[in-house]
Protein backbone atom coordinates (compact mmCIF):
# COMPACT_ATOMS: atom_id res chain seq x y z
CA UNK A 1 0.00 0.00 0.00
CA UNK A 2 1.34 3.41 -0.97
CA UNK A 3 1.90 5.99 1.77
CA UNK A 4 2.24 9.65 0.81
CA UNK A 5 4.27 11.82 3.15
CA UNK A 6 3.53 14.96 1.17
CA UNK A 7 0.73 16.36 -0.97
CA UNK A 8 3.23 16.88 -3.80
CA UNK A 9 3.76 13.09 -3.89
CA UNK A 10 0.00 12.52 -4.03
CA UNK A 11 -0.35 14.99 -6.90
CA UNK A 12 2.53 13.48 -8.88
CA UNK A 13 1.18 9.95 -8.45
CA UNK A 14 -2.16 11.06 -9.89
CA UNK A 15 -0.88 13.25 -12.74
CA UNK A 16 -1.96 16.50 -11.10
CA UNK A 17 -0.22 19.87 -11.11
CA UNK A 18 1.76 20.60 -7.91
CA UNK A 19 -0.37 22.16 -5.16
CA UNK A 20 -0.27 25.94 -4.70
CA UNK A 21 0.71 25.35 -1.09
CA UNK A 22 2.91 22.35 -0.14
CA UNK A 23 0.70 21.70 2.90
CA UNK A 24 -2.71 22.40 1.33
CA UNK A 25 -4.44 21.08 -1.76
CA UNK A 26 -7.85 21.91 -3.22
CA UNK A 27 -9.36 19.69 -5.89
CA UNK A 28 -12.67 20.34 -7.63
CA UNK A 29 -14.18 17.18 -9.08
CA UNK A 30 -16.06 18.12 -12.25
CA UNK A 31 -18.46 15.19 -12.55
CA UNK A 32 -15.56 12.67 -12.54
CA UNK A 33 -12.63 12.14 -10.21
CA UNK A 34 -9.96 9.48 -9.77
CA UNK A 35 -7.45 10.11 -7.01
CA UNK A 36 -6.11 6.85 -5.69
CA UNK A 37 -6.85 3.90 -7.97
CA UNK A 38 -5.55 1.64 -5.24
CA UNK A 39 -5.72 2.00 -1.48
CA UNK A 40 -3.34 4.56 0.03
CA UNK A 41 -2.58 6.42 3.22
CA UNK A 42 -1.09 9.85 3.85
CA UNK A 43 0.09 12.31 6.47
CA UNK A 44 -2.85 14.59 5.83
CA UNK A 45 -6.50 15.21 6.59
CA UNK A 46 -9.18 15.09 3.92
CA UNK A 47 -12.56 16.82 3.79
CA UNK A 48 -14.66 15.79 0.82
CA UNK A 49 -18.06 16.76 -0.52
CA UNK A 50 -19.74 14.86 -3.34
CA UNK A 51 -22.96 13.55 -4.81
CA UNK A 52 -21.65 10.22 -5.95
CA UNK A 53 -23.29 8.46 -8.89
CA UNK A 54 -20.88 5.54 -9.32
CA UNK A 55 -17.35 4.39 -8.57
CA UNK A 56 -15.43 3.22 -5.50
CA UNK A 57 -15.07 5.47 -2.50
CA UNK A 58 -13.62 3.61 0.45
CA UNK A 59 -12.20 4.54 3.81
CA UNK A 60 -12.16 2.78 7.12
CA UNK A 61 -13.68 -0.64 6.53
CA UNK A 62 -16.71 0.08 4.38
CA UNK A 63 -17.74 1.37 0.97
CA UNK A 64 -19.62 4.63 0.72
CA UNK A 65 -23.31 4.33 -0.18
CA UNK A 66 -23.92 6.77 -3.04
CA UNK A 67 -27.45 7.89 -2.26
CA UNK A 68 -27.18 11.66 -1.85
CA UNK A 69 -24.88 14.60 -1.33
CA UNK A 70 -22.60 13.97 1.59
CA UNK A 71 -19.38 14.92 3.32
CA UNK A 72 -16.62 12.62 4.47
CA UNK A 73 -13.78 13.29 6.88
CA UNK A 74 -10.52 11.35 6.87
CA UNK A 75 -7.65 11.68 9.31
CA UNK A 76 -3.92 11.08 8.68
CA UNK A 77 -2.84 7.50 8.01
CA UNK A 78 -6.36 6.23 7.45
CA UNK A 79 -6.78 3.98 4.40
CA UNK A 80 -8.42 5.74 1.42
CA UNK A 81 -9.41 4.69 -2.08
CA UNK A 82 -11.14 6.89 -4.66
CA UNK A 83 -11.49 5.12 -8.00
CA UNK A 84 -13.45 6.03 -11.15
CA UNK A 85 -15.77 8.33 -9.27
CA UNK A 86 -18.63 9.86 -11.19
CA UNK A 87 -20.67 12.63 -9.60
CA UNK A 88 -24.18 13.88 -10.18
CA UNK A 89 -22.84 17.39 -9.51
CA UNK A 90 -19.45 18.97 -8.90
CA UNK A 91 -17.72 18.01 -5.67
CA UNK A 92 -14.55 19.09 -3.93
CA UNK A 93 -11.73 17.64 -1.86
CA UNK A 94 -9.65 19.58 0.64
CA UNK A 95 -6.38 17.94 1.63
CA UNK A 96 -4.28 19.55 4.33
CA UNK A 97 -1.12 18.14 5.83
CA UNK A 98 -1.12 17.70 9.60
CA UNK A 99 1.87 20.09 9.75
CA UNK A 100 -0.33 22.83 8.26
CA UNK A 101 -1.98 23.11 11.70
CA UNK A 102 1.26 23.32 13.72
CA UNK A 103 1.16 26.17 16.22
CA UNK A 104 -2.55 26.80 15.66
CA UNK A 105 -5.29 26.00 18.16
CA UNK A 106 -6.97 23.76 15.57
CA UNK A 107 -4.00 21.37 15.83
CA UNK A 108 -5.46 20.23 19.17
CA UNK A 109 -9.12 21.08 18.58
CA UNK A 110 -9.46 18.95 15.44
CA UNK A 111 -9.14 15.85 17.61
CA UNK A 112 -12.46 16.65 19.30
CA UNK A 113 -14.35 16.16 16.04
CA UNK A 114 -15.18 12.48 16.44
CA UNK A 115 -16.58 12.17 12.91
CA UNK A 116 -12.98 11.71 11.70
CA UNK A 117 -13.36 8.27 13.33
CA UNK A 118 -16.60 7.39 11.53
CA UNK A 119 -16.91 4.84 8.76
CA UNK A 120 -17.82 5.83 5.21
CA UNK A 121 -21.37 4.49 5.64
CA UNK A 122 -21.76 7.11 8.37
CA UNK A 123 -20.99 10.06 6.11
CA UNK A 124 -22.72 13.40 6.68
CA UNK A 125 -25.75 13.87 4.40
CA UNK A 126 -26.55 17.53 3.75
CA UNK A 127 -29.75 19.42 3.08
CA UNK A 128 -29.72 21.91 0.15
CA UNK A 129 -29.26 24.84 2.56
CA UNK A 130 -26.42 23.04 4.34
CA UNK A 131 -24.76 22.33 0.99
CA UNK A 132 -24.90 26.04 0.19
CA UNK A 133 -23.18 26.95 3.48
CA UNK A 134 -20.36 24.45 2.90
CA UNK A 135 -19.84 25.57 -0.71
CA UNK A 136 -19.65 29.22 0.38
CA UNK A 137 -16.91 28.38 2.89
CA UNK A 138 -15.07 26.30 0.31
CA UNK A 139 -15.15 29.13 -2.24
CA UNK A 140 -13.63 31.50 0.33
CA UNK A 141 -10.82 28.99 0.94
CA UNK A 142 -10.38 28.68 -2.81
CA UNK A 143 -10.04 32.45 -3.18
CA UNK A 144 -7.27 32.58 -0.57
CA UNK A 145 -5.60 29.50 -2.05
CA UNK A 146 -5.43 30.85 -5.59
CA UNK A 147 -4.42 34.40 -4.69
CA UNK A 148 -0.85 35.36 -3.84
CA UNK A 149 -0.67 33.89 -0.36
CA UNK A 150 0.72 36.20 2.33
CA UNK A 151 1.26 36.21 6.10
CA UNK A 152 -2.51 36.24 6.73
CA UNK A 153 -3.51 33.49 4.31
CA UNK A 154 -2.79 30.50 6.55
CA UNK A 155 -4.76 31.82 9.53
CA UNK A 156 -7.68 32.80 7.28
CA UNK A 157 -7.74 29.39 5.58
CA UNK A 158 -7.47 27.46 8.85
CA UNK A 159 -10.26 29.62 10.28
CA UNK A 160 -12.46 28.70 7.31
CA UNK A 161 -11.60 25.01 7.66
CA UNK A 162 -12.51 25.27 11.34
CA UNK A 163 -15.85 26.81 10.32
CA UNK A 164 -16.52 23.86 8.00
CA UNK A 165 -15.77 21.49 10.88
CA UNK A 166 -18.01 23.38 13.30
CA UNK A 167 -20.90 23.50 10.83
CA UNK A 168 -20.41 19.80 10.14
CA UNK A 169 -20.67 19.09 13.86
CA UNK A 170 -23.95 21.00 13.92
CA UNK A 171 -25.25 19.19 10.82
CA UNK A 172 -24.36 15.81 12.31
CA UNK A 173 -26.47 16.66 15.35
CA UNK A 174 -29.39 17.27 13.00
CA UNK A 175 -28.68 14.01 11.16
CA UNK A 176 -28.63 12.05 14.42
CA UNK A 177 -32.09 13.37 15.28
CA UNK A 178 -33.48 12.68 11.80
CA UNK A 179 -32.03 9.19 11.55
CA UNK A 180 -33.23 8.29 15.04
CA UNK A 181 -36.78 9.11 13.97
CA UNK A 182 -36.40 6.94 10.87
CA UNK A 183 -34.64 3.91 12.31
CA UNK A 184 -36.01 3.72 15.85
CA UNK A 185 -34.28 4.37 19.12
CA UNK A 186 -30.71 3.16 19.01
CA UNK A 187 -30.59 2.92 22.78
CA UNK A 188 -33.29 0.20 22.64
CA UNK A 189 -31.23 -1.81 20.16
CA UNK A 190 -28.15 -1.23 22.27
CA UNK A 191 -29.87 -2.45 25.44
CA UNK A 192 -31.34 -5.43 23.57
CA UNK A 193 -27.83 -6.40 22.47
CA UNK A 194 -26.57 -6.07 26.05
CA UNK A 195 -29.46 -8.19 27.38
CA UNK A 196 -28.70 -10.83 24.76
CA UNK A 197 -25.01 -10.81 25.69
CA UNK A 198 -25.87 -11.23 29.35
CA UNK A 199 -28.68 -13.72 28.75
CA UNK A 200 -26.42 -15.98 26.69
CA UNK A 201 -23.90 -16.15 29.52
CA UNK A 202 -21.22 -14.34 27.54
CA UNK A 203 -20.21 -12.12 30.45
CA UNK A 204 -18.69 -15.07 32.25
CA UNK A 205 -17.20 -16.50 29.04
CA UNK A 206 -15.86 -13.39 27.32
CA UNK A 207 -15.74 -10.81 30.08
CA UNK A 208 -17.02 -7.26 30.03
CA UNK A 209 -18.61 -6.14 26.75
CA UNK A 210 -16.54 -3.45 25.04
CA UNK A 211 -17.83 -0.51 23.02
CA UNK A 212 -16.19 -2.01 19.92
CA UNK A 213 -17.95 -5.31 20.50
CA UNK A 214 -21.31 -3.58 20.76
CA UNK A 215 -20.61 -1.34 17.76
CA UNK A 216 -19.72 -4.35 15.63
CA UNK A 217 -23.00 -6.03 16.54
CA UNK A 218 -24.92 -2.90 15.55
CA UNK A 219 -22.81 -2.40 12.38
CA UNK A 220 -21.55 1.02 13.44
CA UNK A 221 -18.16 2.51 14.23
CA UNK A 222 -17.38 2.97 17.90
CA UNK A 223 -17.34 6.77 17.71
CA UNK A 224 -20.58 6.99 15.73
CA UNK A 225 -22.29 4.65 18.19
CA UNK A 226 -21.16 6.70 21.19
CA UNK A 227 -22.14 10.00 19.56
CA UNK A 228 -25.58 8.70 18.60
CA UNK A 229 -26.19 7.36 22.10
CA UNK A 230 -24.96 10.63 23.60
CA UNK A 231 -27.49 12.45 21.44
CA UNK A 232 -30.33 10.14 22.52
CA UNK A 233 -29.52 9.63 26.20
CA UNK A 234 -26.88 12.13 27.25
CA UNK A 235 -24.54 9.20 28.00
CA UNK A 236 -21.81 7.53 25.98
CA UNK A 237 -21.73 3.83 25.09
CA UNK A 238 -19.30 2.96 27.87
CA UNK A 239 -21.41 4.83 30.42
CA UNK A 240 -24.50 2.88 29.32
CA UNK A 241 -22.59 -0.39 29.54
CA UNK A 242 -21.58 0.52 33.08
CA UNK A 243 -25.16 1.41 34.02
CA UNK A 244 -26.39 -1.93 32.63
CA UNK A 245 -23.76 -3.88 34.55
CA UNK A 246 -24.45 -2.06 37.81
CA UNK A 247 -28.19 -2.65 37.38
CA UNK A 248 -27.49 -6.37 36.99
CA UNK A 249 -25.16 -6.23 40.00
CA UNK A 250 -27.84 -4.65 42.17
CA UNK A 251 -30.29 -7.35 41.10
CA UNK A 252 -27.81 -10.12 41.91
CA UNK A 253 -26.85 -8.62 45.28
CA UNK A 254 -30.51 -8.43 46.20
CA UNK A 255 -31.73 -11.73 44.81
CA UNK A 256 -28.88 -14.20 45.30
CA UNK A 257 -26.53 -15.48 47.99
CA UNK A 258 -23.43 -14.60 45.98
CA UNK A 259 -20.83 -12.61 47.86
CA UNK A 260 -19.38 -9.41 46.37
CA UNK A 261 -16.49 -11.17 44.63
CA UNK A 262 -18.75 -13.83 43.12
CA UNK A 263 -21.11 -11.14 41.86
CA UNK A 264 -18.27 -9.21 40.28
CA UNK A 265 -16.81 -12.27 38.55
CA UNK A 266 -20.24 -13.40 37.32
CA UNK A 267 -20.57 -10.01 35.60
CA UNK A 268 -17.20 -10.35 33.88
CA UNK A 269 -15.16 -8.17 36.25
CA UNK A 270 -11.74 -9.69 36.81
CA UNK A 271 -10.70 -6.81 39.06
CA UNK A 272 -12.75 -6.67 42.27
CA UNK A 273 -11.56 -3.19 43.37
CA UNK A 274 -12.54 -1.82 39.93
CA UNK A 275 -16.03 -3.31 40.30
CA UNK A 276 -16.38 -1.80 43.79
CA UNK A 277 -15.24 1.66 42.63
CA UNK A 278 -17.60 1.61 39.65
CA UNK A 279 -20.51 0.41 41.80
CA UNK A 280 -19.95 3.18 44.36
CA UNK A 281 -19.61 5.78 41.61
CA UNK A 282 -22.95 4.82 40.07
CA UNK A 283 -24.94 3.89 43.20
CA UNK A 284 -23.38 6.16 45.80
CA UNK A 285 -22.52 3.37 48.24
CA UNK A 286 -20.21 0.35 48.12
CA UNK A 287 -21.57 -3.10 47.18
CA UNK A 288 -21.31 -4.19 50.83
CA UNK A 289 -23.21 -1.15 52.03
CA UNK A 290 -25.86 -1.67 49.36
CA UNK A 291 -26.38 -5.30 50.37
CA UNK A 292 -26.71 -4.31 54.02
CA UNK A 293 -29.33 -1.69 53.10
CA UNK A 294 -31.28 -4.24 51.08
CA UNK A 295 -31.13 -6.87 53.81
CA UNK A 296 -32.24 -4.40 56.44
Mean pLDDT in consecutive groups of 10 residues from the start of the chain, 296 residues: 88 87 88 65 88 55 50 84 66 92 93 82 82 94 90 94 95 76 67 85 80 87 86 84 87 82 84 89 88 73
Same domain, 138 and 178: yes
Domain limit, last residue, from 132, 150, 183: 183
Q: Looking at residue 102, what is its pLDDT?
A: 94
What is the model's pTM?
0.68
Give the model's pLDDT for residue 67: 47
141 and 195, same structural domain?
no
Where does a domain end: 183, 214, 236?
Answer: 183
Which range marks the domain in which residue 226 is found?
A: 186-295
Residues 97 and 238 in one domain: no
Residue 242, domain CATH: 1.10.10.60
The total number of structural domains that make up the chain: 2
Identify whether residues 192 and 270 lie together within a single domain: yes
Q: Are 10 and 137 in the same domain?
A: yes
- What was the pLDDT predicted at 276? 92
Do 178 and 198 fall within a single domain?
Answer: no
Q: Give CA–CA dist 140/244, Å, rounded.
A: 48
> Same domain, yes or no, for 141 and 191?
no
Instruction: Say if CB 260 and CB 272 are below 8 A apart.
Output: yes
pLDDT at 203: 76
Amino acid sequence: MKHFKSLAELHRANGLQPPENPLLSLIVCNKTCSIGETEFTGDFYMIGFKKLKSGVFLYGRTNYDHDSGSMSFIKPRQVIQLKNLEFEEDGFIIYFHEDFLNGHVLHADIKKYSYFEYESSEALHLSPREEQIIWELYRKIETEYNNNQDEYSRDIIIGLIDSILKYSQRFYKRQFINRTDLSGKLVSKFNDALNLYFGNGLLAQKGLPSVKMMADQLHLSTRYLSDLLKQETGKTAIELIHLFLISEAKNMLKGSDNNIAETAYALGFENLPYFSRLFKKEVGVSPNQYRKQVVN
